[in-house]
Structure 1
Amino acid sequence: MEMIYFHFASNFNTTMSNQILQIVVAISLLLSYAKIEARQSLSEVEDLELERQLKLINKPAIKTIKTNDGDLYDCVDFYEQPAFDHPLLQNHDFHPEMKPTLSKSRIDAKASIFERPSKIGLEGNGCPSGTVPIKRVTKEDLIQHQHMQCMDKSHRNGHGNNITNSKASISLDDVNPYQYAETQIPSSDRNIILGGGMITTIHAPINVQKDQFSGARVRLEAGLSDAIEVGWIVHPTLNGDNKPRLYAKFEAGSAGCFNTLCSGFVLVDTNIPLGMPLVPSRIGGPVSSQLMYLEQDTTSGNWWVMLGEDYKQVGFWPKSIFTTLQAHALSAQYGGITYSPQGLPFPPMGSGLFPNKNLLENAYFRKCTFMYVVDDKVVTYSLDHIGTNQFESSTNLYKVQDFIDQGDVLGHLIVYGGPGDKH
């Protein structure tokens, strides 16, 4: 509404002036009331939709577990979990005891002498057999999730899918709120990638504000539409705190989400929920680490998330929800990622330090591997065995370094991180 100014000449009739002023005030009040009514009406519609979604996501619980971190995990019947609300999974034949057909080719996942594995799993025995742990979702969680979806869709495919050229160092500060320090297996139609993973150190970057995040992941992609990733993330909007937490995420065309905030990811393990907090490393030690791996079932084509020295099978994304990822992945990325909306300085990545190969200070991935099909056989290779690119979206914020063939303990080593924007 345009501002209206009244200049009263000294010879104006006072009564007339007051009448005009009263009319203007009344009109303003009516306009304001109309706007409030419209907002309330829209809010009511949105509220009903949120309630409907909450009923779909929060299934009846056989048992509820409250952790020391204050999280609530509902033990939901395997067949009632949110994954099966997906329209392509209505007639599935999955069951709680299912096991994937996986390659026997494995890396030695034991922790090095200066690392300690970050604890995974709920207190006690977790959920009863036949159920899976689903983090309780609140209305505020859904509102924040919708906000994240808007952010993500605005910039989908504005990152890894564009880094298929040689080593790059270009500034995206003004055009993309996502920043990366990664090593990549470049996308190629000749690639037949069936898995990838690493042993990653866990960190808790400081000063990550609301609507920002900072994390690290391994990500597999097939073209511009489909991708999956697993890693750790500090994401106040997603999780309500600044703790590093386990996450998994998928993109399938225009669909996709973190963890189980939408239908798609099928949980199998009764003790490891997505979104659970992880113990972070401290600069100078001790160093906290965890093996994280993505692998495709060679029989069904489903994509599994596995954790820990024993490759614990947490759950999977069914092949049927994808298009280009139904066959295999074409590229892989290993490294750090941050997000910050315009107007906020970028948060630290990893330990907050630039790489200097001091493994008691730096964030790193070791034993970085991928699974490849060679002569109809699935083989696990170190990243040393294929050409990779290093991508730093803004070198004044974050950096990444590769160190190949670092021996039996480290293998292919990727060191990454940075302080972000200090201004």
Structure 2
Amino acid sequence: MWSSGRGSGSRSGDRSDPVREQRVRSDGARKRGARKWTNRGLSPPASFRVLLLRGEIFREWSEDEEEPNGLKFVPVKEEPAPLGSRGVVGPEDYVAVAAAIAERSVREEAEHRRHAEELEDLQWRQAVAANLAAKEKDEEWRRIREEQRAKWLNSDETSNQMEDGDIYDCIDVNLQPAFNHPLLKDHTIQMEPTSFPIGLNIKSSFPHVVSQAHLSIIECPRGMVPILRNGRRDQISAHFIDQAINKDAQLEEAGMKYFDDLYGVQATINVYEPKVKKDSGDLSQTGIQIDNGPKGHMDSINACYSVSPSFYGDTFARFHVGWRDGVQNKSCIDHDCPGFVQVSHNVGLGGRVKPVSVYNGPQYVIHILIFKDPKTHNWWLAYGKDKTPVGYWPSSLFTSLKDKGNFSYTGGRASGPTASSDSPQIGSGHFASEGYGKAAFIKDIQIIDNNNKLVTPNEEKAISGSSDLRKYTIGNYGVDDHGVHMYYGGPGNFV
């Protein structure tokens, strides 16, 4: 370390000695130069070398000068001090500084990565623990609900009703299967819509007189809902609704697709009993479907009549509601898994629709309305000319369909293992060109806009057609103030 020194560097020398005087002045200059470094916390260059002689500091002698006897030169600085020990880094430490910074960056990055991995592992463990706890809680909650439901079934307050061979149990509306869904544990049932879409009272200009077909009517007391119980219900599996909603099975269609934001759809549907081979596993249906979501993970709801002998053991037209959870890729129909909340005390889902239309004879229709409640955001299903509420799909069941739909399909559909290779009939089983009384029709197709108003679909956003014109066709397609109307269907591979 450099010392600032005192005095001029002379103790008793003669100031008249010019050599001595020059040497002292030179030493003073050196000391002042050294202070410029030491006062800033820096080490002076290695060229500053000193010798210690009787407590005084002198400059280093040059090679052409005679070295005083007995004097020893002492280098004050040979190597830079460790980085940071001097407080301020000198110019000679630039390389060391860069190396130290790089080393520290690598060390900090490794430390950060280790902390991130530990945090991720902790979060994963917490999520697993939370899921296990929630699962146990859900299972316990579901067990309690099933016990309550079984108690109602075995009590005198529960009545059994039969309709066309189908047995229904009248269940307390608050104990129906819908509330076994984990997302509906704390759900408060909504017994009726807060409002209906604007424009429901507009009468159709359809030139033909048609009668209304009826759903299965079960006489349950108010405050209860009918649930299909018998063996036919047990034969239904998730495979059935996957065919009705999913696109995994073979599929044939004849109808109208609509691509736009929408909050509901209504239609009047001509009811027939199309022929479907008994052991094919196929079904033929006609109805309304509303979707939203990415491909492969699409939320969906639908209402339709369908014929499916492989699952019901008969060839009757039956009325169904269905929905699909796009996140879990899980489908459901009627009350066979929790989801749809029924409020009607006398409509038997899964029951027969009757009477049905006869080729070149009496024609019967069903009126279907699916709409989103603008206040509760639940998706409601209403039936008939009077738009009687049947029930609703709670918005909490969905991700993409929670707020609105962006696609709808209205028309006929055949789906199943052989729906394309050995296709069943759609509609009446006759081509659209045969017209009224022979070809099935759908009329008064309207959508509900963001103002909760029934409007005629935009022709530029609608596509009508058939997946295979050799089997099914669309005819007399038109648009007016009452919506879209068309004839549809065909024989498939039946000849």
Q: Which residue of 2 aligns with 1:130?
A: 223
Q: Deviations over 1:231-267 (max 9, x none)?
A: 1101123333110111111111212211111100000
When residues 134 and 288 of structure 1 are mapped into structure 2, their CA distance, relative to the original with a 3 A threshold, is same
Secondary structure at 1:324 match in 2:
coil
Partner of 2:162: 66
Aligned to 2:353: 278
- CA 1:90–1:204 in 2, change beyond 3 Å: closer, same or farther? same
Aligned to 1:388: 462
The whole-number CA distance in structure 2 between the counterparts of 1:143 and 1:66 is 18
8 Å contact from structure 1 (residues 73, 133) kept in 2: yes
CA–CA distance in structure 1, aligned partners of residues 475 and 408 of structure 2: 16
Q: Taking structure 1 as reference, are residues 386 and 295 closer, same or farther at Cα in structure 2, changes over 3 Å only?
A: farther
SS in 2 for 1:356: helix
8 Å contact from structure 1 (residues 58, 136) kept in 2: no
Other-structure match for 1:118: 213
Amino acid of the structure 1 residue aligned with 2:197? S
Partner deviation per Cα, 1:82-104 (whole Å, 9 max, x = no partner): 00000000111115x44333323
Cα distance change on mapping 1:57 and 1:336 into 2, 3 Å: farther
Deviation at 1:58, TM superposition (A): 7.5
Q: CA deviation at 1:383?
A: 2.6
Return the alpha-carbon distance in structure 1 between the equivalents of residues 285 and 148 of structure 2.
Answer: 25
Q: Percent identity, aligned pairs only?
A: 24
Pair 109,79 (structure 1): closer, same or farther in 2 beyond 3 Å? farther
The structure 2 residue matched to 1:240, chosen from 313, 316, 326, is 313
The within-5 A match list for 1:32-181 is: 60-61=152-153, 62-67=158-163, 69-94=164-189, 97-106=191-200, 108=202, 113-122=208-217, 126-138=219-231, 141-142=233-234, 144-148=236-240, 152=243, 156-157=246-247, 177-181=250-254
Return the letter of the residue paired with 2:369.
Y
Flag structure 1 segments of 5+ consecutive residues without an equivalent: 1-51, 159-175
Provide the C-alpha distance between the structure 1 equivalents of 2:217 and 2:473, rounded to a whole number of angstroms. 35
Cross-structure match for 1:295: 371
Q: CA deviation at 1:142?
A: 3.8
Match among 342, 349, 357 for residue 267 of structure 1: 342
Q: How far 1:395 moved relative to its partner? A: 1.6
Q: Is the 8 A contact 1:144 1:237 kept in 2?
A: no
- Judged with a 3 Å threshold, the aligned counterparts in structure 2 of structure 1 residues 282 and 130 are, in CA distance, closer, same or farther, namely same
Pair 402,309 (structure 1): closer, same or farther in 2 beyond 3 Å: same
Q: CA 1:56–1:157 in structure 2 vs 1: closer, same or farther (change >3 Å)? A: farther
* Paired amino acid for 1:145: S
> What secondary structure sits across from 1:300 in the alignment?
coil
Q: Is the 8 A contact 2:148 2:175 kept in 1?
A: no
CA drift of 1:205 comes to: 0.9
Q: For structure 2, which runs of at least 5 residues remain unmatched after alignment?
A: 1-142
Name the CA shift for 1:135/1:58 in 2 (closer, same or farther; >3 Å).
farther
- Alpha-carbon shift at residue 288 of structure 1 (Å): 0.7
CA contact 2:285–2:413 (8 Å) conserved in 1: yes
Give the letter aligned to residue 239 of structure 1: Y
Give the secondary structure class of the aligned counterpart of 1:237: helix
In structure 2, give the amino acid aligned to 1:316: Y
Q: Distance between the aligned counterparts of 2:344 and 2:377, measured in 1?
A: 19
Matched, 1:257 2:332: yes
Query: How many Å separate the matches in 1 of 2:460 and 2:400?
Result: 22
Check if 1:196 corresponds to 2:265. Answer: yes
Counterpart code for 2:200: R
Number of equivalenced pairs:
338
Do residues 353 (structure 1) and 403 (structure 2) align?
no
CA contact (8 A) 1:392 1:398 kept: yes
- In 1: Cα distance, 2:395 partner to 2:413 partner: 26
CA 1:291/1:209 → structure 2, altered by over 3 Å: closer, same or farther?
Answer: same
How far did residue 407 of structure 1 move?
7.1
Distance 2:149 2:417 in 1: 30
CA drift at 1:178: 1.3
SS of residue paired to 2:284: strand
Structure with the bigger RCO (C-alpha within 8 Å, sep 6+) is 1
Q: 1:378 to 1:144 in 2, by over 3 A?
A: closer
1:305 aligns with 381
Q: Per-residue deviation at 1:339?
A: 1.8
Task: Answer yes or no: is the 8 Å Cα contact 2:448–2:454 preserved in 1.
Answer: yes
Q: 1:152 to 1:357 in 2, by over 3 A?
A: closer
1:117 deviates by: 0.3
CA contact (8 A) 2:435 2:487 kept: no
Root-mean-square deviation (CA), in Å? 2.7
Structure 1's 364 and 58: CA in aligned 2 closer, same or farther, altered over 3 A? farther
Residue-by-residue CA offset, 1:118-171 (whole Å, 9 max, x unaligned) = 023416xx1101100111143x7445414436x649x9345xxxxxxxxxxxxx
| TM-score, structure 2 as length reference | 0.63
Deviation at 1:212, TM superposition (A): 1.3
Q: Render the CA deviation track for 1:65-85: whole Å, top value 9, x for unaligned.
A: 111x10111110001100000
Offset at residue 402 of structure 1 (A): 5.4
TM-score normalised by structure 1 residue count? 0.73
